[in-house]
Amino acid sequence: MHIICTTLNAKYIHTNLAIRYLKAYAQPEFNVELVEYTIKDPVLNIVTDLYRRKPDVIGFSCYIWNIEQTIEVVQLLKKVHPTVTIVVGGPEVSYDVAYWLERVPEFDYIVIGEGEETFKQLLTALKRGEDVANIAGIACHQNGKAVINPQRNKMNLANMPSPFRFPEDIPHLSKRITYVETSRGCPFSCQFCLSSIEVGVRYFDREKIKEDLRYLMKHGAKVIKFVDRTFNISRSYAMDMFQFLIDEHVPGVVFQFEITADIMRPEVIQFLNEQAPAGLFRFEIGVQSTNDEVNKLVMRKQNFEKLTRTVTMVKQGGKIAQHLDLIAGLPEEDYTSFRKTFNDVFALRPEELQLGFLKMLRGTGLRHKANEYGYVFMDRAPYEILRNNVLSFDDIIRLKQVEDVLEKYWNDHRMDETIEYIVTHLFDTPFDFFQSFGTYWDEQGWARIGHQLEDLFRRLYSFLQTINTDDLPIVEALMKYDYLRNQKQKPRKPWWDEKTDKHVRAHVYEQLSKQPHLLSLTEKELFKHTVVEMIPFDLPHYLQTKHIRRCDMAMIVYFNQTTMKAETYFLEVDTN
């Protein structure tokens, strides 16, 4: 019996942990072939590839981001290979099971909930030609009727086999994200999240996890992401794992965690700030909303004061990058309230701030209460909201505009000094900048076309020209600084029209030649590998103090061909 487990990942760099657990658990009785695609792959290409492998059973791992494409694949497969047995599982099909059986009759079996043991029992029954109707956690059609069996009892995770010891995975470890789970379940009850449905937290064997991590690092894994819903729910467990990773990590590996920031003790952060190598860890923190009443409505416990303390301490340590999440569209959070939430969180200056939109996931408490809050949402996955009783579709459109430019201009860190100056000096709040610019971006039609790096600078400058600020020369200088310092080589055509007079440039080079301690280059090297721009203030002074001291200053950027990095130098110059 030829068995394939597959899924459609959101991106090529992702890997699916679920199908690897299925394969590991099915061994040695069954040899499962793993095949992964992405949601961008043409459906017919996926069908063709699966068909050519001649499987008897195919298991699909289903999520909100891939369910619709998965259905298309399954329906086409059944047309060209009618005898293949289709098994689906995963969070997207584990709820409203009757709906899925009716909507997609091509699904032969649905595995509900935790699937390792259920899937193996199903394979055993299929191989022996036995009845599957009594297998816990299985749903199917029999004699024209839907059979939906309750989920089985939770498994003992300590006995789970490793999902990482497959030789075929080794060549891909350095190129893709490796997902690791050390626990299942969540202690919290947030009503918009599927994790709230499972009561309690169960842990895998700690020493086995450590052995897996050693194996992964030894074989080239570069990004290892822990999928535990709250990695730090047990302080002792988290501290032990942090210490292990600090002691035994391989240089160049990055570990990512989802943490609950308001329960993290200061002494843990202090330990990480003192002991963790810079760049080893990365934290993802779900803030969602800073409105206490909104959080109560979704049964979310959060102390924003303590969360702020954690994020601030981590940021001050300078060792760990932080990614903070917001959710627009939670019950009773209108546009004005969300604006405050955004500004509250942006004030922490996280390295990344993600603005997401509420998705009414099947099985969640909030979906069951959708009518109570006037939710209107997409009928098909990802079930994103379109409006509710306090947030109109017009509001949603405006927040989408914010999301678009936030990703391009803050999270990508192309112009950090520029954006910091803009949100601090030119607008009442950071949200107001991103909203104003996002609306302008949308009105120009830029959301529908591509862009290169230079386009991003030109478009921001075009927007700033519309707000009639006296600070435009300052912002323009900061934009040039941000652009040049992030280049590896002298740009052939920067985003601005070069205005520096050649006589001024020659004067700057003459002044440089008198200060060889500053930058010692030949005349030929200066002209070939440097850019000179005159700016109207003392930029080094500003970078240190955040205060503007106006003067005529030359910014010289040298593109070092040995290090492939830009070096910036400044000279106060009398241009008269």
Which alpha helices (H) appear in 53-89, and where do they start and end?
67-80
Measured CA distances, 441 to 325, 408, 449 (Å): 23, 11, 11
Which alpha helices (H) appear in 318-443, and where do they start and end?
335-346, 365-368, 393-406, 416-421, 430-443
Which amino acid type is present at position 35?
V
pLDDT > 90 fraction of the chain, expressed in percent and rounded: 90
What confidence tens digit (pLDDT) does each residue in 340-353 have?
999 999 999 999 99
By CB neighbour count within 10 A (0-12 exposed, 13-18 middle, 19+ buried), where does 184 fall? Answer: buried
Q: Which residue has the higher pLDDT, 504 or 168?
A: 168
pLDDT at residue 506 in the model: 84
Mean pLDDT of the chain: 95
Nearest to 87 by CA among 54, 112, 69: 112
How, if at all, do strands 321-328 and 281-288 pair? parallel
pLDDT at residue 576 in the model: 60
Q: What is the Cα–Cα distance from 301 to 169, expressed in whole angstroms?
A: 39
pLDDT at residue 574 in the model: 73
Q: Is 385 helix (H, G, I), strand (E, B) or coil?
A: strand
pTM for the whole structure: 0.95
What confidence tens digit (pLDDT) does each residue in 473-498 have?
999 999 999 999 999 999 989 999 87
Q: What is the Cα–Cα distance from 271 to 498, expressed in whole angstroms?
A: 49
Q: Which residues contact 45 (CB under 8 A, 6 or more apart)?
A: none
How, if at all, do strands 3-9 and 32-38 pair? parallel
Catalogue all structural domains in the chain, each as residue range(s) with its CATH number.
3-149 (3.40.50.280), 157-391 (3.20.20.70), 392-469 (no CATH), 482-572 (no CATH)
SS3 of 413-450: CCCHHHHHHHHHHHCCCHHHHHHHHHHHHHHCCHHHCC
